C-alpha cells in the first residue's frame, strides 16, 4: 500500500496477487485471509493509526 501526498491510499500489486493466485492455485482460505488483512490495514490508515504495533502512529500524526 501507498499513501499519496493527497492522502489517497492505493493497494499495490493486486494484479500480481491475482496472477500468482491462478499460477500457484492459492487456497481460498489464504485469499480470504489476505483480503481481510488488506481491509484491516486500510481501516487503520483511514483512522490515522499505524497498521501493526502502533509504532508508526506518531508518523501518521505528522502527515
Q: Are strands 9-10 and 2-3 parallel, antiparallel or unpaired?
A: antiparallel
Three-state SS across 18-38? Answer: HHHHHHHCCCHHHHHHHHHHH
CA dist 18 and 46 (Å) reads: 25
pLDDT of residue 19: 97
5-63, pLDDT tens digit by residue? 887 889 999 999 999 999 999 999 999 999 999 998 888 888 877 666 777 777 777 77
Q: To which residue does cell 508518523 refer?
A: 59
pLDDT of residue 52: 67
Q: To which residue does cell 499513501 refer?
A: 3
Amino acid at each position: 500500500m501507498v499513501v499519496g501526498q493527497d492522502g489517497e491510499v492505493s493497494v499495490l500489486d493486486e494484479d500480481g496477487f491475482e496472477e500468482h493466485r491462478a499460477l500457484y492455485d492459492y487456497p481460498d482460505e489464504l485469499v480470504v485471509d489476505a483480503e481481510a488483512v488488506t481491509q484491516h490495514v486500510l481501516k487503520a490508515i483511514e483512522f490515522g493509526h499505524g497498521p501493526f504495533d502502533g509504532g508508526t502512529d506518531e508518523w501518521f500524526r505528522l502527515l
